[in-house]
Chains A and B, each alone.
Chain A
Amino acid sequence: MSWLRANMFSSWPNAIATLLIVWLAWKLAVPFFDWAFVQAIWVAPDSQVCRDAKGTGACWALVHEKHRFMLFGTYPFELQWRPVLVIVILLALYVVSALRACWRPWLAAAWIVGLATIGVLMWGGVLGLRYVENERWGGLALTLLLATFGIALAFPLSIVLALGRRSELPVLRLLCVIYIELIRGVPLISLLFMASVMLPLFLPEGMSIDKLLRAQIAMTLFAAAYLAEVVRGGLQAVPRGQYEAAQALGLSYWRMTLLVVLPQALRISIPPLVNTFIGFFKDTSLVLIIGLFDLLTTVKISIGEPKWVGFGVEAYIFVSAVYFVFCFAMSRYSQNLELELAGSAATGGAR
Chain B
Amino acid sequence: MKFLRSGRSRALFFQVVALAAVLGALAFIVHNTMLNLEKSKIASGFDFLGREAGFEIGESPFILYSAADSYGRALLVGLLNTIRVAVIGIVLATILGTLVGLARLSTNWLLARIAGVYVEVIRNVPLLVQLFFWYVVITENLPGPRDAANPLTGVFLSNRGIAMPGVDAHPVYWWMLIAFIAGLVIAWLVARWARARQARTGQPFASFWAGCGIALGLPLAVFLAAGAPLKLDVPQLSGFNFQGGVVMTPEYATLLIGLVAYTAAFIGEIVRAGIVAVHRGQVEAANALGLSRRMTLRLVVLPQALRVIIPPLTSQYLNITKNSSLAVAIGYPDIVSIANTSINQNGQAIEGIAIIMAVYLTVSLSISAFMNWYNKRIALVER
Q: Are B141 and A313 interface neighbours, CB within 8 A?
A: yes
The one of A187, A285, A300 in contact with B360, judged by C-beta atoms closer than 8 angstroms, is A187
Q: Are A310 and B129 interface neighbours, CB within 8 A?
A: no
Docked complex Cα distance between A296 and B326 (Å): 14
The one of B14, B107, B132, B357 in contact with A14, judged by C-beta atoms closer than 8 angstroms, is B107
Q: Which of A166-210 contact B (CB under 8 A)?
A: 168-172, 175, 182, 184-190, 193-194, 197-198, 200-205
Docked complex Cα distance between A328 and B124 (Å): 6
Interface centre among A17, A185, A283, A319 (most CB of B within 10 A): A185
Which B residues touch A204, using CB under 8 A?
32, 35
Q: Are A14 and B325 interface neighbours, CB within 8 A?
A: no
Does chain B have a CB within 8 A of A288?
A: yes
Does chain A have a CB within 8 A of B241?
A: no
Q: Are B133 and A320 interface neighbours, CB within 8 A?
A: yes
Q: Which of A145-171 contact B (CB under 8 A)?
A: 168-171
Q: Are A189 and B336 interface neighbours, CB within 8 A?
A: yes
Q: Are A197 and B353 interface neighbours, CB within 8 A?
A: yes
Does chain A have a CB within 8 A of B36?
A: yes
Q: Are B336 and A320 interface neighbours, CB within 8 A?
A: no
- Nearest Cβ distance between residue B151 and chain A, in whole angstroms? 13
Interface centre among B22, B128, B340 (most CB of A within 10 A): B128
CB within 8 Å for A282 and B126 given contacts A8-B108, A289-B328: yes
CB within 8 Å for A203 and B11 given contacts A7-B109, A187-B322: no
- Nearest Cβ distance between residue A33 and chain B, in whole angstroms? 15
- Nearest Cβ distance between residue B111 and chain A, in whole angstroms? 6
Does chain B have a CB within 8 A of A124?
A: no
Docked complex Cα distance between A331 and B33 (Å): 43
Q: Are A288 and B329 interface neighbours, CB within 8 A?
A: yes
Q: Are B108 and A17 interface neighbours, CB within 8 A?
A: yes
CB within 8 Å for A319 and B140 given contacts A17-B111, A203-B32, A331-B123: no
A292-311, CB under 8 A of B: which get 1 and which 0? 00001000100000000010
- Nearest Cβ distance between residue A140 and chain B, in whole angstroms? 13
Docked complex Cα distance between A320 and B29 (Å): 40
Does chain A have a CB within 8 A of B313?
A: no
Which B residues touch A296, using CB under 8 A?
126, 128-129, 132
Does chain B have a CB within 8 A of A93?
A: no
Does chain B have a CB within 8 A of A38?
A: no
Q: Which of A247-306 contact B (CB under 8 A)?
A: 278, 282-283, 285-286, 288-289, 296, 300
Q: Are A197 and B349 interface neighbours, CB within 8 A?
A: yes
The one of B18, B37, B140, B141 in contact with A201, judged by C-beta atoms closer than 8 angstroms, is B37
B1-42, CB under 8 A of A: which get 1 and which 0? 000000000010011101100100000010011011101000
Docked complex Cα distance between A285 and B125 (Å): 10
Q: Which of B334-383 contact A (CB under 8 A)?
A: 336, 340, 343, 349-350, 353, 356-357, 360-361, 364-365
Residue of A nearest to B33 (CB): A201
Which B residues touch A278, using CB under 8 A?
124
Q: Are B129 and A316 interface neighbours, CB within 8 A?
A: yes
Docked complex Cα distance between A319 and B129 (Å): 8
Q: Is the interface of A mostly helix, strand, loop or mixed?
A: helix
The one of A172, A185, A331 in contact with B15, judged by C-beta atoms closer than 8 angstroms, is A172
Docked complex Cα distance between A78 and B141 (Å): 37
The one of A22, A169, A186, A323 in contact with B129, judged by C-beta atoms closer than 8 angstroms, is A323
Q: Are B336 and A282 interface neighbours, CB within 8 A?
A: no
Which A residues touch B125, using CB under 8 A?
282, 320, 323-324, 327
Q: Are A202 and B33 interface neighbours, CB within 8 A?
A: yes
Residue of A nearest to B107 (CB): A10
Docked complex Cα distance between A21 and B323 (Å): 32
Docked complex Cα distance between A329 and B345 (Å): 44
The one of A186, A282, A327 in contact with B356, judged by C-beta atoms closer than 8 angstroms, is A186
Q: Which of A187-245 contact B (CB under 8 A)?
A: 187-190, 193-194, 197-198, 200-205
The one of B110, B132, B364 in contact with A8, judged by C-beta atoms closer than 8 angstroms, is B110
Which A residues touch B135, using CB under 8 A?
312
Q: Are B14 and A285 interface neighbours, CB within 8 A?
A: no
- Nearest Cβ distance between residue A298 and chain B, in whole angstroms? 13
Q: Are B19 and A171 interface neighbours, CB within 8 A?
A: yes
Does chain B have a CB within 8 A of A48?
A: no
Does chain A have a CB within 8 A of B127?
A: yes
Q: Are B109 and A186 interface neighbours, CB within 8 A?
A: no
The one of A7, A8, A21, A312 in contact with B140, judged by C-beta atoms closer than 8 angstroms, is A312
- Nearest Cβ distance between residue B187 and chain A, in whole angstroms? 31
Which A residues touch B107, using CB under 8 A?
7, 10, 14
Which A residues touch B329, using CB under 8 A?
288-289
A1-45, CB under 8 A of B: which get 1 and which 0? 000000110100010011001100000000000000000000000
Q: Are A323 and B124 interface neighbours, CB within 8 A?
A: yes
Which A residues touch B328, using CB under 8 A?
189, 289
Which A residues touch B33, using CB under 8 A?
201-202
Docked complex Cα distance between A325 and B264 (Å): 21
Which A residues touch B357, using CB under 8 A?
186, 190
Residue of B nearest to A278 (CB): B124
Does chain B have a CB within 8 A of A346?
A: no
Docked complex Cα distance between A323 and B262 (Å): 15
Q: Are B361 and A182 interface neighbours, CB within 8 A?
A: yes
Does chain A have a CB within 8 A of B136?
A: yes
Which A residues touch B168, using CB under 8 A?
none
Q: List 24 A-B contacts (CB under 8 A).
A: A14-B108, A21-B110, A21-B114, A169-B14, A169-B15, A172-B18, A187-B322, A189-B336, A190-B325, A197-B343, A198-B349, A201-B32, A201-B33, A201-B36, A201-B37, A201-B350, A202-B29, A278-B124, A282-B125, A283-B126, A296-B129, A312-B132, A319-B129, A320-B125
Contacts A8-B110, A197-B349 given; 18 further ones with Cβ under 8 A?
A7-B109, A8-B108, A17-B108, A21-B110, A168-B11, A170-B15, A185-B360, A187-B325, A188-B322, A190-B353, A193-B340, A288-B329, A296-B126, A296-B132, A310-B140, A312-B132, A316-B132, A320-B130
